[in-house]
Chains A and B, each alone.
Chain A
Amino acid sequence: MNRYVFYNFILVSFINLMLYVPHILIQYRYTGAVSSIAAGSVIGTVLLYLYTSALARYPGKGLPEILKIHFPGWPATVLTLFFAIMWWFATTVVVVAYAILINRFFNPDVNTTVILLTLVLACGYAATRSTLTVMFVIEIGVIINAPIIMFILFKAVRSPQLNWDAIRVVANYITAMPSITALAAASFVFTGYINLSLFNRLFPPNFRFKFRWVYPTFGLAILLVTFFVPIGFHGTETVNRYIYIWSVTADSLLMQYGFIERVLFLFLIVFLNLTLVYTMSGCHQAMEFIKSCLPGEKAEIDSPETPVSNYVIVSCFALLTMIFQLLTNEKLNMQITSYWLVLRMFIEFFSVIGIFILSRRRSRAV
């Protein structure tokens, strides 16, 4: 069942494009992005190993259950609520960014708010489903879309338009010290393991994490491609001019033999799918976290009937997302996202280490 861990990892590492990770890294390309990539992958790998080995001691339990074991009532509740807000916010950023992207590239005539409403409704419906359903949707979404993304990345890397000199120039700035924002952006690619906080509930008692070396390798490869390929296409200076850097990069590619000539459209459709899947998964996790704080709420992984609380919580999320979109613009959105990325890195760092220590302490006690 290790594939279910892998799906989460792949999903998050692909979705980094929607969270402005390449753009943030490229801003720091002379001032520590490359070393941040190196340091970020080390941090990500260590956290991944710590978290998976910690969770292996709590088979079939999610983060809220683990916190409830070790803490009395209210600190566990506060922590869980905090995690829920973090998760919800990630999905909000992604889905708002994509709504703007649709408005830019697909339907310039349609109002962004209307598009966002549709996206949020679709994801909201999906998020209210049971955890098992959400896992299946993630599986199908990744299986369908990952090969196409791999194709696009491969095409980009093999393109004759790619200027390796520019890449080499930027790569030589590896000696610059890493900066916090770039480090946060780089380590985000490896953060797929954190989704296990909820999905660990699904795993059977005899589940063992295997092939853990695949995750850092894969993450590093994705991170290098997302950072260096745009530089190779647009040159060391111009690359900083685009916010949606990968959409523009995909538009530089051409499929000579297909019905669809511009790779951009393929890229956009695939990323729309991934955005939907990611938003669903994030919203669902946040919803489950909030539900675990409600008194008398029993965690269910596949309830035959959807509880009303699901609908209530998710519609609150949807409303908040709409409000967020109305209050911010692209620039603000990106600023907030980079702060969020930093905050996320610290939160994740401390919570993973904390859970790891708790899991060791518990095993010694038992």
Chain B
Amino acid sequence: MLERIRLLFAEAVDLKMETLANSEMTIEIAYIAPLCEEKKVNDFIIVPFTKEEYSFRKQLGINPDYRLVEDPAYWQELLLRGHILIKAADHIYSFDAARVISVENPQTQVESAIQGPQLALSEDIRISLNLVRSMYPSPDLSVEEHTIGSLSKTPIMTVYDQRRVDPTVLDNVRKKLTTINVEMVHAAGELEKLLVGKRKHLFPTALITERPDRITRAIARGKIIVLIKGNMFAIILPATFFDFMQAVEDSYDSYWMTRFLVFLRYASILLTITLPAFYISVVSYNPELFRVQLAFSIAGSRSAVPYPSFVEVFIMLFMIETLVEASIRLPRYIGSTATTVGGLILGQAAQQAGLVSSIMIIVTSVVAISNFVIPVNSLSFAVRFLKYPLILISIFFGISGVAIGMFIYITYLCNLRSFGKPYFRFFGKLRHLEGDVGQVKLK
């Protein structure tokens, strides 16, 4: 066996191949040392074999952890997954001694909730599955394993409740998973893009989360979860726009307050998309839209600004976007400095220098702050982009252009499907006796 393995692999010092002998028999073992836990190798193979307290041959036969490998074609893959290959008396056995390095018991960081579980998913897929299983102790929970990536061979698991899951969505996801053809997959976001399939999409149509409570809640609603090895995030399919606007805390806190918060989110998403465009159209096209006092104060604050409103908007938005981008990428300690310098000093100075109007500073900060209100990061990113097409159309058509732009956005959203399910629609109360619209397939 060892000769053959030597041929299969490139020259590698970490590939350990030994021949051991005791009074009973001689065995050959092979493993890749960094991938395996040294302790397991010792405890399960070397020590019991050399101590001879119990016949190793019998142990190989009885213990189901030593799995018989019939086909030599699997050798390579097993070794690369951290298994040990044992050759004893013309049989080849494999033993899983994989060592998974992951963050120990990670806390939720991206989607933090004040109350509610603080534990996030783990990079070890088994710990993640443990969390999901223990929070959803139901015999209906179905777990399927797939492997993605011709090089990375990333193990992924799809988890769903077999009674509640929508069979068409499940078929759709399975088909997608089997047809994905890439070399490497390491992040949930990467897999999400592959699953969705469209190269140029504006909105996320699958929800990426790290919270086990969000996951189990989604399973209970018949959704499918995709867990990836080596990633703290799971993908929830299918997702609707409204899932992205939902923070987990909405179901933990008091009713009226959370309703108010939901309203706040929708109001701010509207503001962050339309406000710069409205500023341009009000200043350049329809100052008479506002009441006279307000129109005067806007015009007054712009009196020192020498160029048209859209230049002003572009200057300020460029500043705020770079600021946001910088404070995300910079290390945490420098990040706060950047925000202070940029936000306070530059903003004030730009207004005093007559580069931008003071109203524009308010508009910019409203745009930036309302963007952060969106609870799920991927939507927040998507929404950050949405204001620019509206600004462009408002330069040419004013307020009517903004309205047309919003109409196109709504149409686009309604047109999106997340794995065959509508992405953006108002679900009224659906009585079980009544069918839903669009369920009939015409012959």
Binding site for B on A (CB under 8 A): 1, 3-4, 59-60, 65, 102, 106-107, 110, 115, 118-119, 122, 125-126, 129-133, 135-137, 139-141, 143, 201-207, 258-262, 265, 269, 272-273, 276-277, 280, 298-302, 304
Contact = CB atoms under 8 A, between A and B. Distances in A.
A135 B437 CA distance: 9
Interface in B176-226: none
A276 B404 CA distance: 8
B435 interface: yes
A60 B442 contact: yes
B208 to A, nearest CB: 23
Contact of B411 (A65, A102, A107, A133): A133
Contacts of A299: 442
A3 B434 CA distance: 12
A265 B288 CA distance: 9
B403 A269 contact: yes
Q: Determine the main DSSP class of A at the interface with B.
A: helix
Nearest to A258: B291
A118 B396 CA distance: 11
A221 to B, nearest CB: 23
B438 A137 contact: no
Given A259-B294, A260-B289, A272-B400, A132 B411 contact: no
A126 B411 contact: yes
Interface of B: 285-286, 288-292, 294, 396-401, 403-404, 407-408, 410-411, 414-415, 417, 420, 422, 424-426, 428, 433-440, 442
B426 A204 contact: no
Contacts of A140: 410, 414, 424-426
Q: Which 10 A-B pairs have the closest CB atoms?
A: A204-B435, A261-B291, A60-B440, A136-B414, A132-B438, A126-B411, A202-B437, A133-B415, A276-B407, A136-B425
Given A143-B426, A259-B291, A272-B404, 7 more contacts: A59-B440, A65-B442, A107-B400, A122-B404, A205-B435, A300-B442, A301-B440
A173 B288 CA distance: 40
Contacts of B290: 259-261
Contacts of A258: 291
Contacts, number: 125
A125 B289 contact: no
B293 to A, nearest CB: 9
B399 A269 contact: yes
A301 B442 contact: yes
Given A107-B285, A273-B407, A203 B417 contact: no
Contact of B435 (A102, A131, A206, A276): A206
B442 A201 contact: yes
Contacts of A207: 434-435
A272 B289 contact: no
Nearest to B430: A1
Contacts of B408: 122, 125-126
A118 B401 contact: yes
Contacts of A65: 442
A50 to B, nearest CB: 23
B425 A139 contact: yes
B342 to A, nearest CB: 29
Instruction: Point out which of A133, A204, A280 has the most chain B C-beta atoms below 10 A from its C-beta.
Output: A133
B437 A204 contact: yes
A304 B440 contact: no
B125 to A, nearest CB: 32
8 contacts: A65-B442, A115-B397, A141-B410, A203-B437, A262-B289, A265-B289, A269-B403, A277-B407
B227 to A, nearest CB: 27
A118 B404 contact: yes
Nearest to A3: B428
A106 B433 CA distance: 48
Contacts of B288: 262
A125 B411 contact: yes
A260 B286 CA distance: 11
A343 B72 CA distance: 81
A201 B440 contact: yes
A204 B434 contact: yes
Contacts of A300: 442
Nearest to A123: B407
A267 to B, nearest CB: 12
Contact of A206 (B425, B428, B434, B442): B434
B280 to A, nearest CB: 13
Nearest to A130: B415
Contacts of B285: 106-107
Contacts of B404: 118-119, 122, 272, 276
Given A115-B400, A129-B415, A259-B291, A1 B434 contact: yes
Contacts of B410: 137, 140-141
Contact of B398 (A106, A133, A273, A302): A106
B438 A302 contact: yes
Contacts of A137: 410-411, 414
Nearest to B294: A259
A128 B397 CA distance: 24
B442 A118 contact: no
A136 B424 contact: yes
